[in-house]
Amino acid sequence: MAFKMKYTIEQRYLPKGTKRRSGIKNQGIDFIVAHDSGNDGSTAAGNVNYYTNSANVVSASAHTFIDDKAIIECVPLTEKAWHVMYNVTTDNELYGFDSNDHAIGVELCYSYKKGNMNNKESYKRYVWYMAYLCYKFNLNPMKRISGHNELDPNRRTDPYKNALKIMGITKDQFLKDVVKEYAECTVAENLYSVYQGNSKLKDFPDYVSAVEYAQKWSNVNIRKITDGSWVWSNIKKESEDDCPMKLETWQKSMLTDGLNKLSEINGVDGTPLINDPEGWTKKVNNGTITAGELAIINFALISRQVIK
């Protein structure tokens, strides 16, 4: 399986070994904490710039900022970020760990009274990124995403009682949207099979290596496993003259009539212009007559009428 990368994820990491980015590895990812920036109208890039400029001043941080145009990771997902107070106990009760050691912190940027961000676009990216993290870390979206305000209700309102409330989205709706996005973006990988005749030679995850392999063989086809279509072939195609002609019913009856009449006419040598009209008629009607055969009949007729 693969995950549809609908949006680009940028990496603009904060300076390492600072208060905001210690560089210490996290202990594996077991859940996600949904945040919002808490700063009406501030963009993802603006927040990351601010973090960078104050990297040694404050130890609060998050992994990712998302607005209507960008998804920016400022702390590697393999490292700790400082996004939930250690003395909060709800995360330990829910997941058995502190958020900073075992969770990704994702910040949603929004416009309420300030800025001109498109909240709908920011929300779409936020939902997609949550689904992406759930895929990447094999997490159940319904159980493994907590709002910061749920973990630290006395101090925080983000995101359910702040940005998402401003956007008119409930927690229930948000989680359902993530589940839906997860399902939509989880797709089968494009697999390609190389066939020689009816026997399969080998499968490949990508088109380029399938073709590379197929080129070493003669008379092979490459078939896309997902939809069964043939996408590449080095089999020499028959010339068009050798392919059966597609004839409409009216064309068939016209040809049949013509063939019958020709069999009654004698050529310059005194014999009928064509032999075996039944045989030709049969070919016309069962659709096996080829353009080449028709051309031969034509040539024979013309030459036998003219040449002595």
Contact partners, residue 52, CB within 8 Å, separation at least 6: 12, 14, 15, 74
> Given the complex with Zn ion, which of 85 and 262 has the nearer CB atom?
85
223 in contact with Zn ion (CB under 5 A): no
- Least separation in angstroms between CB 35 and Zn ion: 3
Q: Which stretch binds Zn ion (CB under 5 A): 32-40, 166-174, 273-281, 293-301?
A: 32-40
30 in contact with Zn ion (CB under 5 A): no
91 in contact with Zn ion (CB under 5 A): no
- Cβ atoms of 26 and 102 closer than 8 Å: yes
Candidate residues 18, 29, 30, 35; the one interacting with Zn ion per rule CB under 5 A: 35
- Least separation in angstroms between CB 105 and Zn ion: 7
CB atoms within 10 A of CB 167: 20
152 in contact with Zn ion (CB under 5 A): no
In whole angstroms, give the CA distance from residue 35 to residue 290. Answer: 70
In whole angstroms, give the CA distance from residue 229 to residue 225. Answer: 8
Question: What is the total residue count of the chain?
Answer: 308
> Given the complex with Zn ion, which of 157 and 221 has the nearer CB atom?
157
Q: Which stretch binds Zn ion (CB under 5 A): 31-39, 42-50, 108-116, 214-222?
A: 31-39
Name the packing angle between helices 277-285 and 249-264 (round to 10°).
180
- Least separation in angstroms between CB 148 and Zn ion: 3
In sequence order, what are the beta bridge partners of 222?
194, 232
- Least separation in angstroms between CB 158 and Zn ion: 4
158 in contact with Zn ion (CB under 5 A): yes
Contact partners, residue 204, CB within 8 Å, separation at least 6: 191, 192, 193, 194, 210, 213
63 in contact with Zn ion (CB under 5 A): no
Candidate residues 148, 171, 223, 283; the one interacting with Zn ion per rule CB under 5 A: 148
Q: Which stretch binds Zn ion (CB under 5 A): 12-20, 28-36, 188-196, 214-222?
A: 28-36
In sequence order, what are the beta bridge partners of 183?
none
Q: Which stretch binds Zn ion (CB under 5 A): 5-13, 158-166, 181-189, 290-298?
A: 158-166
- Strand ranges in the chain using DSSP code E only, listed in sequence order: 2-3, 9-11, 31-36, 64-66, 71-73, 103-108, 145-147, 186-187, 192-196, 199-204, 220-224, 230-233
Q: Which stretch binds Zn ion (CB under 5 A): 42-50, 153-161, 226-234, 256-264?
A: 153-161
- What are the φ/ψ torsions at residue 102 (nearest 5 degrees)? -135, 10
- Least separation in angstroms between CB 174 and Zn ion: 15
Taking alpha carbons only, the member of 136, 121, 116 closest to residue 76 is 136
150 in contact with Zn ion (CB under 5 A): no
- Least separation in angstroms between CB 98 and Zn ion: 15
- Least separation in angstroms between CB 90 and Zn ion: 13
Applying CB under 5 A, the residues found at the interface with Zn ion are 35, 148, 158
